Amino acid sequence: MTQYKKNAEIVAQLDQEQYRVTQQNGTEAPGSGKLLDQWQPGIYVDIVSGEPLFASSSKFESGCGWPSFSKPIMNEYVLEIQDQSHGMHRTEVRSNYADSHLGHVFTDGPKEHGGLRYCINSASLRFVSLDQMQDQGYADYIETIEQ
């Protein structure tokens, strides 16, 4: 099994927005993320470590302005942490191995898919299309994609 970890070389190559979001707990402006309107089959991985986080089959249009998913590919790659910042009570979502800030999870997602909405910043993700998954080392996750 692939070992995922925070890679200082990759962190140094992040653009300003990716760094602000993943390393400084930032949030991109609603509607601005490059993956918001990405609907091809594939998976979304942590931009720093490559951890497989979300499958396109769990992505849905929530109208919130950020990519939304009903569940992670594997719970072990996504940490949920209580967040009391900005005078709100929320649950922050971070990648397990890279400790990247991803976004937040809410309980207003599609009931038929468990009721969760993982509201995730595009700047924290890299999309790997289904036809590239095997070549990029994600063959074990192809089955998570509904075709």
Do the domain assignments include residue 59?
Answer: yes
Using DSSP's 3-state secondary structure scheme, residue 139 falls into helix
**pLDDT confidence of residue 77:** 93
- For residue 2, the model assigns a pLDDT of 66
Tens digits of per-residue pLDDT, 122-143?
999 999 999 999 999 999 999 9
The pair phi, psi for residue 88, each rounded to 5°, is -120, 160
In-domain check, residue 112: yes
Residue 75: phi, psi to the nearest 5? -60, -30
List the domain range (segments joined by +) for residue 48.
8-144
- Residue 133 · residue 42 · CB < 8 Å: yes
Residue 92 in domain:
yes
Structure tokens at 121: 């910043």
Strands (E) across the chain are located at: 42-46, 52-55, 59-60, 68-69, 78-83, 90-95, 101-106, 117-120, 125-129
Assign residue 66 the CATH number of its domain.
Answer: 2.170.150.20
- What is the pLDDT, as a whole number, of residue 88? 65
The residue behind tokens 């998954």 is 133
Q: What pLDDT, in 10s, does the model give residues 29-86?
A: 999 999 999 999 999 999 999 999 999 999 999 999 999 999 999 999 999 988 776 6
Confidence (pLDDT) at 82: 84
Q: Is it the case that residue 89 has pLDDT exceeding 80? A: no
Total of domains in the chain? 1
**Residues labelled as active-site residues:** 119
pLDDT(145) > 90: no
The token pair at 137 is: 């080392």
Residue 2 lies in a domain: no
